């Protein structure tokens, strides 16, 4: 067996954990640096690797109709640690892949600790390593320490790395009034691990909804210092910021009342619905879906207890706001996520400008494979843009977005979505020859994109694995 210099990975979140796993499984030793518990963050509560702090959902697992489901499947094909542990620790969530939060991170941590080529070093890294120290991957995510952020800024000559997002509260199940609430997934969707009744639903009439929105808007909020500018990622907006964009906005987002029937009042359609999703394996904790918030703790308890069924809610964790961090990646990183000015350094995860647990882990998986190929003297081959891997990577490294006037817009974080994939030919006609319309045509397109993506992923993996194995 060849002997390699260890790769140093800074950050044992989802991206860093996944990258370490990929490297070690290609016989490349890893030192995984994690500052917790020596130095804590604003939101983590344990020293486990891959701790989930915003939600317990990896979102849709449907690989025919949803881009993140395609990404799940591509990661399974690539032997992902994160998706493997998510599958083992899944909890019912309709068509989504949600996990028992603590059990998931414990499983990831134990697998990393047990691997003979991975060592975990506890302590803060405050400076970027020199080239003679060997290859390094920075996967510190949205909570990069101040000292390391300053070192990154100095190396990249950037002015800022920060934006802000928020986390949702978690409620004890036995404090929810099920005489008002009920279990049901929208449209009774089951999915691979669901039952069709995986969410707790709390219905509101119009008067209750408007009173609730008014209370949120007037509640005390966490404020920013003058030099801080709140620039939220649209996929993780605080619920009150969403309401500020229009009183009806939450009803077209997390509080949409579609696909649900209230068994306590079946003859009346809800005006709005608050959903809660199981947060742990035992089903004793549920988080409020889409209710990230920057309201202060006292205000949260008061406002959220206005929700029918949550009048006596007991909170296992209240929501909170925290700083997020990402690079201007199209400017700073090359096509395999190396820092252009210092190519011995790579970045992975949310700091690159992807959003979401799955996307962060996927970019960690790619960087791990890129580093492994280079250690073995092989070319680091990016995945084709027709795959979910490649589409996400292309967004991160492919340049600034062009606005409708032909000018340039600033780079912003992005979840994987079919809009990032290159166009594909697909059938627009039914078997009887008649033309598909609307949703049916869109589903046909999504299935074609998915089929092409998974086919091309398998071909890419066979190619890159062959180059590594033959070294």
Q: 13: annotated binding-site residue?
A: yes
Gap between the Cα atoms of 78 and 361, Å rounded: 12
pLDDT at residue 76 above 80? Answer: yes
Condensed to tens digits (0 to 9), the pLDDT of residues 206-265 reads 999 999 999 999 999 876 544 345 556 666 678 998 999 999 999 999 999 999 999 999
Q: Is residue 418 in a domain? A: no
Contact 169, 315 (CB under 8 A): yes
Same domain (yes/no): 207, 220: yes
Task: Provide the β-strand partners of residue 200.
Answer: 183, 276
Same domain (yes/no): 216, 303: yes
Gap between the Cα atoms of 237 and 165, Å rounded: 7
| Average pLDDT over every residue of 122-138 | 92
Q: Is residue 1 in a domain? A: no
pLDDT computed for residue 469 by the predictor = 43
Determine which of 56-60, 109-113, 447-451 has the lowest per-residue pLDDT on average: 56-60
Assign 466 a pLDDT band (cuts: 50, 70, 90): very low
Q: Is residue 412 in a domain? A: no
Same domain (yes/no): 370, 253: no
Same domain (yes/no): 107, 228: no
Gap between the Cα atoms of 58 and 97, Å rounded: 5
Among the candidates 300, 323, 346, a domain finishes at 323
Condensed to tens digits (0 to 9), the pLDDT of residues 338-393 reads 999 999 999 999 999 898 899 999 999 999 999 999 998 888 999 999 999 999 99
Assign 441 a pLDDT band (cuts: 50, 70, 90): confident
Condensed to tens digits (0 to 9), the pLDDT of residues 298-309 reads 999 999 999 999
Assign 406 a pLDDT band (cuts: 50, 70, 90): very low
Omega before 37 cis (within 30°)? Answer: yes
Q: Is residue 416 in a domain? A: no
Same domain (yes/no): 207, 313: yes
Q: 246: annotated binding-site residue?
A: no
pLDDT at residue 143 above 80? Answer: no
pLDDT computed for residue 227 by the predictor = 35
pLDDT averaged over the chain? 87
Gap between the Cα atoms of 138 and 444, Å rounded: 39
Q: 372: annotated binding-site residue?
A: no
pLDDT computed for residue 231 by the predictor = 59
Condensed to tens digits (0 to 9), the pLDDT of residues 177-195 reads 999 999 999 999 887 667 8
pLDDT computed for residue 465 by the predictor = 58
In terms of Cα–Cα distance, which of 459, 359, 380, 454 is closest to 74?
454
Same domain (yes/no): 153, 269: no
| φ, ψ (nearest 5 deg) of residue 425 | -75, 135
Gap between the Cα atoms of 186 and 190, Å rounded: 9
Q: Is residue 414 in a domain? A: no
User: Does residue 326 or residue 22 have the better pLDDT?
Assistant: 22
Same domain (yes/no): 316, 385: no
Classify 295 as helix, strand or coil. strand
pLDDT computed for residue 199 by the predictor = 95
What domain count does the chain have? Answer: 2
pLDDT at residue 332 above 70? Answer: yes
Segments forming the whole domain that contains residue 87: 7-161+326-405+455-466
Same domain (yes/no): 351, 313: no
Contact 114, 325 (CB under 8 A): no
Same domain (yes/no): 182, 297: yes
Q: Is residue 422 in a domain? A: no
Gap between the Cα atoms of 68 and 302, Å rounded: 35
Among the candidates 288, 323, 358, a domain finishes at 323
- Non-local CB neighbours of 406 within 8 Å, separated by 6+ positions: none
| Average pLDDT over every residue of 266-291 | 90
Q: Is residue 267 in a domain? A: yes
Q: 15: annotated binding-site residue?
A: yes
pLDDT at residue 412 above 80? Answer: no
Among the candidates 278, 303, 323, a domain finishes at 323
| Average pLDDT over every residue of 278-298 | 86
Same domain (yes/no): 330, 319: no
Gap between the Cα atoms of 43 and 53, Å rounded: 7
Q: 469: annotated binding-site residue?
A: no
Task: Provide the β-strand partners of residue 429.
Answer: 435
% of the chain residues with pLDDT over 90: 60
| Average pLDDT over every residue of 272-277 | 96
Taking CA atoms, 174 is separated from 91, 177, 280, 286, 316, in Å, by 18, 8, 14, 10, 12
Q: What is the CATH number of the domain that holds 204?
A: 2.40.30.260
pLDDT computed for residue 163 by the predictor = 63
Q: Is residue 426 in a domain? A: no
Same domain (yes/no): 341, 307: no
Same domain (yes/no): 120, 211: no
Gap between the Cα atoms of 301 and 470, Å rounded: 59
Owner of token pair 């918030």:
293
Condensed to tens digits (0 to 9), the pLDDT of residues 161-178 reads 766 556 789 899 989 999
The number of angstroms, rounded, from the C-alpha of 201 to the middle of its chain's C-alpha atoms is: 24
Classify 170 as helix, strand or coil. strand
Q: What is the CATH number of the domain that holds 91?
A: 3.50.50.60
| φ, ψ (nearest 5 deg) of residue 277 | -120, 140
């Amino acid at each position: 067996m060849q002997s390699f210099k260890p790769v140093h990975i800074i950050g044992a979140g989802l991206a860093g954990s996944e990258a370490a796993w990929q490297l070690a499984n290609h016989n490349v030793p890893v030192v995984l640096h994690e500052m917790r518990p020596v130095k804590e963050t604003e939101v983590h509560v344990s020293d486990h690797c891959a701790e989930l702090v915003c939600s317990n959902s990896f979102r849709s697992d449907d690989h025919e109709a949803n881009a993140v489901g395609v990404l799940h499947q591509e990661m399974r094909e690539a032997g992902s640690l994160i998706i493997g542990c998510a599958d083992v620790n899944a909890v019912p969530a309709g068509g989504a892949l949600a996990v028992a939060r603590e059990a998931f991170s414990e499983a990831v941590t134990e697998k990393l600790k047990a691997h003979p080529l991975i060592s975990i070093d506890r302590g803060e890294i405050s400076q970027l390593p020199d080239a003679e120290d060997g290859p390094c991957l920075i996967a510190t995510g949205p909570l990069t320490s101040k000292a390391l952020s300053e070192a990154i800024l100095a190396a990249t000559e950037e002015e800022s790395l920060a934006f802000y997002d928020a986390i949702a509260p978690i409620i004890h199940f036995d404090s929810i009034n099920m005489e008002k609430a009920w279990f049901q997934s929208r449209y009774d969707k089951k999915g691979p691990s669901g039952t069709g009744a995986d969410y707790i639903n709390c219905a509101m009439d119009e008067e209750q909804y408007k009173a609730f929105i008014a209370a949120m808007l007037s509640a005390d909020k966490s404020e920013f210092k003058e030099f801080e500018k709140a620039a939220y990622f649209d996929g993780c907006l605080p619920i009150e910021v969403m309401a500020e964009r229009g009183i009806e906005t939450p009803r077209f987002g997390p509080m949409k009342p579609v696909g649900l029937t209230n068994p306590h009042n079946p003859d009346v359609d809800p005006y709005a619905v608050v959903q809660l999703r199981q947060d742990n394996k035992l089903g004793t904790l549920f988080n409020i879906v889409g209710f990230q918030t920057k309201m202060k703790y006292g205000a949260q308890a008061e406002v959220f207890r206005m929700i029918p069924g949550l009048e006596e809610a007991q909170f296992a964790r209240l929501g909170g706001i925290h700083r997020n961090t990402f690079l201007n990646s199209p400017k700073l990183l090359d096509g395999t996520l190396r820092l252009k000015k210092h190519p011995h350094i790579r970045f992975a995860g949310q700091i690159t400008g992807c959003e979401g647990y799955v996307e962060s882990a996927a970019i960690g998986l790619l960087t791990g494979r890129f580093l492994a190929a280079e250690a073995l003297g092989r070319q680091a081959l990016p995945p084709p843009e027709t795959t979910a891997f490649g589409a996400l990577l292309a967004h991160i490294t492919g340049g600034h977005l062009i606005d409708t006037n032909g000018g340039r817009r600033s780079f912003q974080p992005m979840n994987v979505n079919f809009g990032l994939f290159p166009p594909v030919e697909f059938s627009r006609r039914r078997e009887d020859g008649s033309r598909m319309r609307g949703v049916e045509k869109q589903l046909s397109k999504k299935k074609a994109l998915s089929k092409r993506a998974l086919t091309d992923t398998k071909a890419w993996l066979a190619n890159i694995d062959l180059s590594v194995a033959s070294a």
